[in-house]
Structure 1
Amino acid sequence: MSDFRLWHYDGVTAVRRSVLLRPAGTGFVLEEPESGWVGAPTDWSDLTVIGAQGDRPAYGHGAIPGWRMGFSGEAPPGIAAHLPKGERYGRWIDRFGLWPAAGVFTAVAALVVWGALEAPGIIAPLVPQSWENRMGDSMVGDFGGRFCHTPAGDAALKALAAQLDPQHEAREIALANIPMVNAVTLPGGRIILFDGLVQQAKSPDEVAGVLGHELGHVRHRDTMTGLIRQLGLSVVLGGAGGNAGGYLNGVLSLSYGRGAESAADGVAIDRMREARISPAATAAFFERLGGQEGEGTETQAMTWLSSHPLSAARRRRFAAAVKPGASYRPALDRAEWQALRTSCASDPKVAKFWGKAF
């Protein structure tokens, strides 16, 4: 038996003993020669590291609460070889090693980030259409009384919608008296063109391109995806309810990703081709709105560009979609175009943009 002394509490009394350790079978027995006290046999595998006493590890017994022992100096090699190792970084990290564990955690973190980015696109199509419709209805209301209506203007907008949306994928297409160069797609297939967009356009073909693009967002439910990504599942679980105004602001501030924008452009080009409307005007509209890439950041805030970032590749795609020799026709005739452009100005009941809150 080694004369190396340990301190020990047996978990029964509060007496701190100075003991010697005697190996026995697969474990040891602790003895205090001065008092004649002898502890119960303990297996090496019962020991656990429970902390430190000074700068030395303290050990406990896995089956006996309060049982503790420790060393006042370095344990002899014959004893140290049987002692459990203390955790340096944590149980699992110590088991696998720091760098392998760091690699696993990095992979898990990357998977979580990927899930956060991709999950909205998976969840959105699973949201019942009736829920999304109710959400869009709650958001829009009467849009603060800003929807423009005249008999001729309504007929012109209906004629434009009939060409680009013959299957009625959009539940409503409306014109709002808001002087911003913008258009938004709300949940539930509701598209709102702002009067500022119509006034900025030089032809109905330009408006047709923007409307076709918004119809692409309706088909792919991009607004629902964007809201889930931006505001979380509360959008789905809580519905619109009293948060309708906040969700509407969320829609207005949405910025779609490049993939969604490209897919919506594809729908616009297809719709215009089927309606025999030239996409050349849309390419020119994008060029005029966007100017040189990287310029006009401040003036683009709260416009269609803020949520639908343009690029030279997008403009070229519309320009390349023009088919030489194709027989195109205007999206609206001159009288219809004039009626659409003057609809908000001619509606005596429409609310002014700055005069009434949403």
Structure 2
Amino acid sequence: MVETRVWHYDGQSRSRRMPTIVPGADETQFLLQGDGAEAGPYAFADLVPQGQSHHERAFGLKNRPGWQITFLEFPPSEIAVHLPKLPRYHAWLEHFGPWRIAGVLALLVGLTLLATLKFPPLIARSIPQSVEERMGAKMVASMGAYACSSPAGDAALKALAARLRQGDNVTIRVLHAPMVNAVAFPGHQVVLFDGFIQEAQSPDEIAGVLAHELGHLAHQDGMEALVRHFGIRLLLGGFDRHPSSYANALLNARYSRKAEVGADSYAIGRLQGAGISPGPTAALFTRMAEQDEQPELAGRLLNYLSSHPPSPSRAQRFTQSVQKNFPYRPALDAAQWQALRTMCAKRG
């Protein structure tokens, strides 16, 4: 068998590896060998198609947020025969004829290009709220195996949301994963990874990041990113079949500078309105920027850097927004902060 290498992300670090993919002892499974990759075995049935081009095919893995392998060339038959297939349309071809299908496809391609390149914000804002909510619920549910919950921790999340949103409807969940990340999903859903909570030095840092993600929700940046990435597939309701593909896309999305600045402005306003100092969030961005400039020190924060690139100017904006002599209060009291940090403790 010809050696076949793939690009691989394990969902726990930003490092991109290039292991070799080989069939397992059981033909329903495969292994990843070399370059520090977790060997497995993995089930072919758990792979989730994430798109393809003329020279690449990418797959996620069920219940493994951020996990991905990408074939840089067509895989050998021993592997290809077991890979999940993307939808095929031979029946349409036989029924309507190749020329009609070609014309329709050309029209759809043109409309898709126009929609995804020129009008993503307009399209994102035209999607009904009920559809957004269903999408977000399915995406978050695809990662439900990692959900953490405790009475005190859940109460702390609700208290934090109440201060930042002043009663608006938003659902915040904590997932047990070492990723240092936070993600806003459609339908007023925000996910905080426990790795980020453990990395934070105070509840005010969590509040700043949460407020930033709420800004992405308010501006529908996540929906716009999905429209740009998936185009017409999203509009045709493909999320019903592969919600984890869309969840992984948002986990790996890299927002524009304009979107990040807008989310920062929203976050500063929410923090000020809640009486939470923006200073700790500024310190967080400074810490991230310092680690970004020193790869040997980057460590766990790189998960958040990959989708939320920091800069000294972002930290400066939060620093300048701190009001002298203002009676700021911590985002959570000591007991609430401890409850939030130990939500996933029993999952070990």
TM interval, short-chain normalised: 0.5 to 0.7
Alignment TM-score, normalising by the size of structure 1: 0.62
Match of 1:267 in 2: 266
Secondary structure in structure 2 of the residue aligned to 1:316:
helix
Partners in 1 of 2:314 and 2:134 — Cα distance? 33
Match of 2:49 in 1: none
Contact 1:205 1:281 (C-alpha < 8 Å) held by counterparts? yes
Superposed displacement of residue 144, structure 1: 3.6
Alignment TM-score, normalising by the size of structure 2: 0.64
Match of 2:329 in 1: 329
User: Which structure is larger by alpha-carbon Rg, 1 or 2?
Assistant: 1
Secondary structure in structure 1 of the residue aligned to 2:147:
coil
1:317 to 1:301, Cα distance in 2 relative to 1, 3 A: closer
RMSD across aligned positions (CA) = 2.1
1:342 to 1:261, Cα distance in 2 relative to 1, 3 A: same
Task: Give per-residue Cα distances to partners, 1:56-101, cap 9 Å, x unaligned.
Answer: xxxxxxxxxxxxxxxxxxxxxxxxxxxxxxxxxxxxxxxxxxxxxx
Superposed displacement of residue 336, structure 1: 0.7
Aligned residues: 236
Partners in 1 of 2:221 and 2:263 — Cα distance? 9
Contact 1:147 1:175 (C-alpha < 8 Å) held by counterparts? yes
Superposed displacement of residue 238, structure 1: 2.1
1:116 to 1:239, Cα distance in 2 relative to 1, 3 A: closer
Show the 5 A alignment for 1:51-130: 116-130=116-130
Partners in 1 of 2:162 and 2:183 — Cα distance? 19
Match of 1:230 in 2: 229
Match of 1:138 in 2: 138
Task: Give per-residue Cα distances to partners, 1:111-168, cap 9 Å, x unaligned.
Answer: x989744411111000111111111111121624211111111111111111011132
1:339 to 1:321, Cα distance in 2 relative to 1, 3 A: same
Partners in 2 of 1:301 and 1:204 — Cα distance? 17
**Once the two structures are aligned, what percentage of the paired residues are identical?**
47
Secondary structure in structure 1 of the residue aligned to 2:192:
strand
Superposed displacement of residue 291, structure 1: 1.2
Contact 1:300 1:306 (C-alpha < 8 Å) held by counterparts? no
Per residue, is there more helix in 1 or in 2?
Answer: 2
Partners in 2 of 1:184 and 1:287 — Cα distance? 20
Match of 1:57 in 2: none
Match of 1:164 in 2: 164
Partners in 1 of 2:134 and 2:272 — Cα distance? 33
Contact 1:227 1:251 (C-alpha < 8 Å) held by counterparts? yes
Match of 1:205 in 2: 204
Superposed displacement of residue 343, structure 1: 1.0
Partners in 2 of 1:287 and 1:142 — Cα distance? 33
**Letter of the 1:323 counterpart:** Q
Q: What runs of 5+ residues in structure 1 fail to find an aligned partner?
A: 1-111, 353-358
Match of 1:313 in 2: 313
1:293 to 1:343, Cα distance in 2 relative to 1, 3 A: closer
Task: Give per-residue Cα distances to partners, 1:213-258, cap 9 Å, x unaligned.
Answer: 0000111111000011111121122241112121111111111101
**Letter of the 1:123 counterpart:** I
1:201 to 1:123, Cα distance in 2 relative to 1, 3 A: same
Secondary structure in structure 2 of the residue aligned to 1:192:
strand
